[in-house]
Amino acid sequence: MKVRLKPNITNTDLNKDSIYNVLCIEISDKIEFYLQKYFNYGDIYLAYPYLSDLLDIVDNDIKNWSIEMFEKNIYSNANFDEIKQIKYISIAPKEINYESFCEDIAECYGLEKCNDAHDMMARACGLYANLELNEESFIRIFSEFQLPNLEYGIDIGEDYIMCPKCSNAIKNNKKGVIKCHNKYCNILYNNPQAKPTPKGVKIIVEKN
């Protein structure tokens, strides 16, 4: 999904000539689009919320997105010392639209957890726009997805998957990556029935 600033809007840090990727939409008592923005200090991507009233939709494609209902804590006053809980609807790519995504990303990247849900979403969605994970973190966060560069298990029917190395077979656990149960093998291999690796995610191969 892509948007641009409405031509009659001037009091904003958005560039009127730019088109922005929407990383997430949140609906509560207002509708906010989290837009992908690049910051050259630190060479990072972040996502910040902007009211939908400021924006024109250029591309409305959200065919691989899901809709979820969540609760979150937000600061309720200007002094940032009072917190209230609100319910909101989140519309985002289905592989990241689950309740603990922000916390999982924070843990993997060593980010400090906070009560400001907007700040967490800005960091989490921004990182997702240029996401790099090692194999262990990828398997934990994207548990239903296949991992690139792994061999594929063999679907032998009746909902069983066979290890490509030792031929040990297990009941399909619906996970993207399977660890062989044979203690003399123990390799990781892809579930052939799982979802392919989500776009935009780069896997870091760590050297032993």
> Residue 79: which pLDDT band, with cuts at 50, 70 and 90?
low
**Which two three-digit tokens encode residue 39?**
């910051």
Rg, C-alpha atoms of the chain = 20
Q: Are 154 and 140 in contact (CB under 8 A)?
A: no
Answer whether 166's CB lies under 8 Å from 177's CB.
no
Residue 112: predicted pLDDT: 62
Q: How far apart are CA 177 and CA 14, in angstroms?
A: 41
pLDDT at 188 exceeding the cut of 90: yes
Which pLDDT value is given to residue 78? 60
Q: What is the pLDDT of residue 170?
A: 92
Task: Give the pTM.
Answer: 0.58
Domain residue spans of the chain: 2-129, 135-204
Coil, strand or helix: which one is 131? Answer: strand
pLDDT at 132 over 70: yes
Of the pLDDT bands very low, low, confident and very high (cuts 50, 70, 90), residue 41 is very low
